[in-house]
Structure 1
Amino acid sequence: MSFAPVPRPAFVLHSRPYKETSALVDFLTPEGRLRAVLRGARGKAGAVARPFIPLEAEFRGRSELKTVGRLEAAGIPNLLAADALFSGLYLNELLIRLLPAEDPHPELFEHYRATLPLLAAGRPLEPLLRAFEWRLLDELGYGFSLDTDIVGQSVAPDGLYRLLPDAGLEPVADLQPGIFHGADLLAMSQADWSAPGALAAAKRLMRQALAPHLGGRPLVSRELFMNRKEPTRD
């Protein structure tokens, strides 16, 4: 895919130094995830080349590695702190790890753009993360039904199910490790997070669903979150 030098919305997912004064930046755009060299990264453009800031960017080049022609802020920065910051870094890492380069996903871009202000506003994190994980899986073709099992039967509230990542939900007879209750799955299908146990079950389900696509490598953002320092108490 070649990019004409026209402005397009973008977000920085990750940036690292490149050569003497440049940066190698992973961007999310409606046209997909792309990597580009940002020259003069210590100047004005480098000041806005940070995660969670709505940007307007121009990219040049026909190869997989683009060059940033212009980069400007295009909205109010989403100021994430504490657990919301770790959550935003987690979303960025998922996109870098799972989203193929230059594969357009405009609806996923809009979902990401809508999620960041909610994180910044202090909305409950777990529903936002589960919704984004689900959208990402669905966009990549890895989604599955939450209210129908692999043989086409409706999920029963009192049933037990296990996830087959490449197929969907399989009914089982006995409670085993990693099993899901039908009532929790049905609550997830309706995004009813008031149902007891639904959020915890959704977290387990998304971890199981994402694991085969992460290649066995742990997520750095998840490790950072788990190892974060607890606030000092006087």
Structure 2
Amino acid sequence: MATPQAQPAYVLHSRAYRESSALVDFLTPQGRLRAVLRSARGKAGTLARPFVPLEVEFRGKGELKNVGRMEGVGVAAWMVGDALFSGLYLNELLIRLLPAEDPHPHVFDHYAATLQALAAGLPLEPLLRSFEWRLLDSLGYGFALHQDINGDAIEEGGLYRLKVDAGLERIWLLQPGVFNGIELMAMAQADWAVPGALAAAKRLMRQALAVHLGGKPLVSRELFRKP
């Protein structure tokens, strides 16, 4: 029998399980894995917290695995305030959207890089929009920002609305929730100096994510609203 190979991982969420164990959702290059961590009140339990880069050995072939070995590697991303809430938001997005045991190594790498950028104090909104966009694209829910659903190039003075899972549709009458062509062109280039582009990107990502979240609100979003 092959020996289980350790792999890089981050804890997305952990909760008590039975007497002294924890049920932990991990993000790994092989996807989101759920595993039982025995003796969670000991040394291992201190590592089983978000934003700590880990090396974890998973045992078992079923959907619910067991943690065989877990060690900290590298430096944990230390965050406070809105940066911390942003990290929790990323974790909740991954738990809600990422299918179990569906490998997405690029998502893992981007997540790790985003945590370090948040910890370094870089502006939050561009980091969050980039992560949301890449996650949607990796899961097959992405759409073009440089052209509409008919294949026509986005026009600077045009008006567009999002048809989820299809793309951007050109419209001719102003209505709630639409996007200006100049905003979409800025998003495509990640040019956040264009007035309104970052706010429009936030609206666009919320619309794109909403259908895949099934109407259930994200708990972590409420943290930003608390004084």
Instruction: Output the CA distance in 2 between the equivalents of 1:66 and 1:76.
Output: 26
TM-score, with structure 1 as normaliser: 0.95
Letter in 2 for 1:127: P
Paired residues of 2:154 and 2:181 also in contact (CA < 8 A): yes
Letter in 1 for 2:39: G
SS at 1:210 equivalent: helix
Q: Does 1:117 align with 2:116?
A: yes
Shift of 1:7: 1.2
Letter in 2 for 1:51: P
Shift of 1:4: 5.1
Paired residues of 1:4 and 1:59 also in contact (CA < 8 A): no
Shift of 1:171: 0.3
Matches within 5 A, 1:67-146: 67-146=66-145
Shift of 1:105: 0.1
Instruction: Output the CA distance in 1 between the equivalents of 2:77 and 2:195.
Output: 31
Shift of 1:13: 0.2
Identify the residue that residue 66 of structure 1 maps to in structure 2: 65
* Moved beyond 3 Å, runs of 4+: none
Output the aligned Cα RMSD.
Answer: 0.9
- Return 5+ residue gaps in structure 2 as ranges: none
Paired residues of 2:25 and 2:34 also in contact (CA < 8 A): yes
TM-score, with structure 2 as normaliser: 0.98
Identify the residue that residue 232 of structure 1 maps to in structure 2: none
Paired residues of 2:142 and 2:165 also in contact (CA < 8 A): no
Instruction: Output the CA distance in 2 between the equivalents of 1:84 and 1:107.
Output: 22
Show CA shifts across 1:7-55 (max 9, x none).
Answer: 1000000000000100000000000001000000011111011100100
Show CA shifts across 1:92-146 (max 9, x none).
Answer: 0000000000000001100001110100011000000000000000000000000
Instruction: Output the CA distance in 1 between the equivalents of 2:179 and 2:197.
Output: 10
SS at 1:84 equivalent: helix
Letter in 1 for 2:28: T
